[in-house]
């Protein structure tokens, strides 16, 4: 190879080192060294992200010295962390992390569920028919929870304008539930006056009254109280209304308008 050709080769090699991969740069650098142009590695000036990503100097190796705030090595700290996929206590279960249990949002009874629940809770009226909520203000009375009554007002979907039932506990819902409770409780009291096994009205001493209050809590709310529970809150409602029929009416309305009856 002539001297002119050697010089041209070296100039081309030197000018083409910029913006190429490290493998190509290594070969070109060797050529420059052979030509006597340089004895040091040619500096790299990457023109794109690919040149940076392929450079061994761009990414620190696993032995890089990175320390935490307390001066300990990050690698040592990582080794001390438990494996997330393995139990970390003697019982074979993952330890409690202290988070609150998740639960679904509170919802109220649907209109259909409420309509089915009332006869089961209230029993039969004086004529032997299941007690339901009836709108007495309408001539002849109609079922208040039917499509001809207040079903749509209480949020039931009609599948014409709405397809999802609205179970919002609004002031309007609370108002109508108060009307419902007064209607069905009155009809229950009328029936209790003539049947052999009344649902609401029970007479007796204080212990008998409190025992019956616990029975009503179980019947209306599914709340099974301990036999020694004095149920002072419900007993206070009974005595405040004057005991007797008035007291049981107040208890009935209180149980039917309680959030425990409507929400789940």
Q: End of a domain among 57, 75, 91?
A: 57
Q: Which helix (H) or strand (E) holds 135?
A: strand 134-135
Residues 131 and 238 in one domain: yes
Residues 119 and 42 in one domain: no
Nearest CA to 157 out of 169, 168, 148, 166 is that of 166
Question: Could you tell me if residue 81 is inside a domain?
Answer: no
- The alpha-carbon radius of gyration of the chain (Å, integer) is 42
Question: Could you tell me if residue 99 is inside a domain?
Answer: no
pLDDT for res 105: 72
7 has pLDDT over 70: no
Question: Could you tell me if residue 74 is inside a domain?
Answer: no
pLDDT for res 2: 47
Tens digits of residue pLDDT in 79-97: 555 555 555 556 667 666 6
As a whole number, mean pLDDT of residues 47-68 equals 48
| 246 vs 105: which has the higher pLDDT | 246
As a whole number, mean pLDDT of residues 21-26 equals 55
Tens digits of residue pLDDT in 140-196: 679 999 998 999 999 999 899 899 999 988 999 999 999 999 999 999 999 999 999
Question: Could you tell me if residue 132 is inside a domain?
Answer: yes
Number of domains in the chain: 2
| pTM, entire model | 0.60
Residues 53 and 132 in one domain: no
Q: How far apart are CA 261 and CA 246, in angstroms?
A: 21
Question: Could you tell me if residue 217 is inside a domain?
Answer: yes
Question: Could you tell me if residue 124 is inside a domain?
Answer: yes
Range of the domain at 134: 111-262
Residues 180 and 254 in one domain: yes
pLDDT for res 29: 64
């Amino acid at each position: 190879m002539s001297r002119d050709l050697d010089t041209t080769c070296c100039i081309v090699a030197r000018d083409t080192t910029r913006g190429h991969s490290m493998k190509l740069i290594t070969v070109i650098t060797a050529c420059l060294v052979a030509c006597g142009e340089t004895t040091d590695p040619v500096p790299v000036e990457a023109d794109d992200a690919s040149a940076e990503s392929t450079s061994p100097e761009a990414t620190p190796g696993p032995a890089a010295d990175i320390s935490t705030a307390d001066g300990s090595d990050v690698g040592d700290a990582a080794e001390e962390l438990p494996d997330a996929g393995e139990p970390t206590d003697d019982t074979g279960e993952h330890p409690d992390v202290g988070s609150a249990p998740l639960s679904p949002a509170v919802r109220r009874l649907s209109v259909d569920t409420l309509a089915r629940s009332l006869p089961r809770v209230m029993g039969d009226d004086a004529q032997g028919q299941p007690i339901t909520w009836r709108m007495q203000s309408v001539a002849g009375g109609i079922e208040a929870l039917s499509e001809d009554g207040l079903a749509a007002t209480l949020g039931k979907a009609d599948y014409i304008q709405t397809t999802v039932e609205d179970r919002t506990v609004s002031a309007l819902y609370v108002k109508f539930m108060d009307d419902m409770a007064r209607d069905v409780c009155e009809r229950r009291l009328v029936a209790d006056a003539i049947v052999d096994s009344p649902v609401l009205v029970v007479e007796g001493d204080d212990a008998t009254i409190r025992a019956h209050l616990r029975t009503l809590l179980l019947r209306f709310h599914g709340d099974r109280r301990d036999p020694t529970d004095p149920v002072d809150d419900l007993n206070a409602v009974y005595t405040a209304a004057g005991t007797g029929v008035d007291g049981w009416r107040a208890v009935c309305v209180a149980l039917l308008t309680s959030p425990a009856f409507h929400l789940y």
